[in-house]
Structure 1
Amino acid sequence: MTFRIYIICFCVQVQTEVSVDTKHQTLQGVAFPIAKEALQALEKLKNKQLNYVQLQIDIKNETIVLASTLPTELKDLPKRIPKDSARYHFFLYKHSHEGDHLESIVFIYSMPGYMCSIRERMLYSSCKSPLLEIVERQLWMQIIRKIEIGDGDELTPEFLYEEVHPKQHAHKQSFAKPKGPAGKRGIRRLIRGPAETETPTD
């Protein structure tokens, strides 16, 4: 009985390794080949000839292919996110910040949770880092922000702006006003209890 259990476990392990062992496996993930059309679209995006590129994994052929290059404004971005499959999105985010007009490339990894199969979730997650490494180091594309979402409705103008320009002092503000020394500004000590209202100070 023990021998049979060992054989079953061994077979499952081998099948898993074969399904994951693809064209090129790295410590960071699995590097699938990127189709020529996808690379050309990314080059055009880098040169601002396109403002949106969507990539998908051809699971059968173990390749990253081009899915869409539709011209996309910020208001259209949520519509580009599939609700039943994962995707990689590169978006040229045009906006103003502190009086400056900026055009920043944002990477969005959309994964609609359990609407996808386990294999699809595993492959998209494993291929993400190698894909970004190729885009940043070989295509020399500067990605200002990498975002992961589950639903396109999350991509509101406010959300994207705060992701690209996070409020660095948001947490510090809650600690910015320490309590004054005891015996001063006594009028604020009224909230601590009636006993402390006897000796208010100027």
Structure 2
Amino acid sequence: MSHETGIPPDDDLKARIADCKSSENVRVMKIKIENEQMIHQKSCGPVSDFSGDFSLLDSIVDDSSPCYLMLRTDISNNYGFEWILITYVPVSSKTREKMLYSSTKPAIKREFGGNQLKTEYFATEKSDLTYDSFVLSQDRSEKPFTEQEIELAKVKEQERQAMRGLGEKVKLSSNISFPPTEAACDAISDFKSETTNFAQFVINGADEVIDSVTSQSGVTLDGVDGLVPRDRATYNLYRVPASAADGFINDNPVIFLHGISSSGSVKEKMLFSSCKSTFLQLLASDVIGLAIDRKVEVDVNDDNITQEFLLSEVKVKQAEIKKKFEKPKAPGRQRTNPRA
């Protein structure tokens, strides 16, 4: 399942995408994310053929700034020219930027439309933005760029058109996750980098997004309880200080705390329950890579999230250690009767 940020293209970008899909005047379009919107930053017309115009990309991108590049091929189908979506995210990019560009990509694909989006390509440095590097990354059967391959591709394309729309509908209908807002992305990034040790999130049902409530540093074990509200459900991330006690399951263990309020509506409970697994998948994905040591679900109206409770979750339980290393009993030997 995909996890989207909910960041839309602005009106100017929508208009430019609509124009370039049926035009030969644009070879490459550069798209950036700024102020919670996707915007058009630059476009270049064709200078040579498709392979030759890969050289345009080096002058368009910045060494340390991520962007999307829409690159037009010389192939056309019943809907117009086919395009390649290049996601350029330098290695030096911040975790938040990597997460943002990864999570926003489905939105630009949807805006451009699947009928003309031929393939995708991911680049992390300028040396990746060459025709040779692109060809090496693609399966031969999926990249018809020569004249003979183009003719064969036209036949195959007609067979694929009917399935593309259905495939997108199935994909979208199976996605029950709500996307994180940009504020939530910032909170996750700060928590991952250990700038903060507590982050709280809620589900905004009206906008269908996961939003950030608070993000704090220096939160102590006995301070968590006061940050979790009693009147609504929340997702909470808490990193336990390593100095708190010995015997942790990990250094600076991370707890995912799902607070459930008995006074909350049935709809709220269903939303939080349905979105939890996909939100956890996002946190554990390669883009973020946040290791969660314990996942806890508590009724905030009945249970106090005390220091003792939190420590009990992240300490190695002695009973488990004993059970893990306890030698199995040797099978008993049958004694014979000496009088027999």
TM-score class, shorter-chain normalisation, is: 0.5 to 0.7
Give the counterpart of 1:47 among 172, 193, 197.
193
Runs of 4 or more off by more than 6 Å in structure 1?
Answer: 170-173
How do residues 4-83 of structure 1 correspond to structure 2 at under 5 angstroms?
26=174, 30-71=176-217, 72-83=219-230
Alpha-carbon RMSD across the aligned residues, in angstroms, is 2.9
- Identify the residue that residue 109 of structure 1 maps to in structure 2: 258
Give the structure-1-normalised TM-score.
0.66
1:119–1:102 distance in 2 versus 1, CA, 3 Å: same
Name the SS of the counterpart of 2:251 in structure 1.
Answer: strand
Counterpart check, 1:156 vs 2:302 = no
- Identify the residue that residue 167 of structure 1 maps to in structure 2: 317
Q: Deviations over 1:105-152 (max 9, x none)?
A: 110000012x01111000010000000000111310011111111127
Q: Deviations over 1:49-69 (max 9, x none)?
A: 011110001110000001111
Name the SS of the counterpart of 1:60 in structure 2.
Answer: coil
Deviation of the 1:76 alpha carbon: 0.9
Give the counterpart of 1:122 among 270, 276, 282.
270
What amino acid maps onto 2:178 in structure 1?
Answer: F
Deviation of the 1:166 alpha carbon: 4.5
Structure 2: segments with no counterpart, 5+ residues = 1-170, 324-340
Deviation of the 1:25 alpha carbon: 5.4
- Identify the residue that residue 196 of structure 1 maps to in structure 2: none
Checking the alignment, whether the CA contact within 8 Å between 2:221 and 2:310 is kept in structure 1 is: no
Question: Normalized per residue, which structure has more helix?
Answer: 1
Checking the alignment, whether the CA contact within 8 Å between 1:56 and 1:65 is kept in structure 2 is: yes
- Identify the residue that residue 145 of structure 1 maps to in structure 2: 294
1:91–1:126 distance in 2 versus 1, CA, 3 Å: same
Paired residues, what number? 151
Q: Which structure has the higher relative contact order (CA within 8 Å, separation 6+)?
A: 1
Separation in 2, partners of 1:169, 1:135 = 30
Counterpart check, 1:134 vs 2:293 = no
Checking the alignment, whether the CA contact within 8 Å between 1:24 and 1:31 is kept in structure 2 is: no
**Identical columns (%):** 28
What amino acid maps onto 2:205 in structure 1?
Answer: I
Deviation of the 1:165 alpha carbon: 2.2
- Identify the residue that residue 195 of structure 1 maps to in structure 2: none
1:93–1:171 distance in 2 versus 1, CA, 3 Å: closer
Structure 1: segments with no counterpart, 5+ residues = 1-22, 174-202
What amino acid maps onto 1:134 in structure 2?
Answer: L
Give the structure-2-normalised TM-score.
0.40
- Identify the residue that residue 89 of structure 2 maps to in structure 1: none
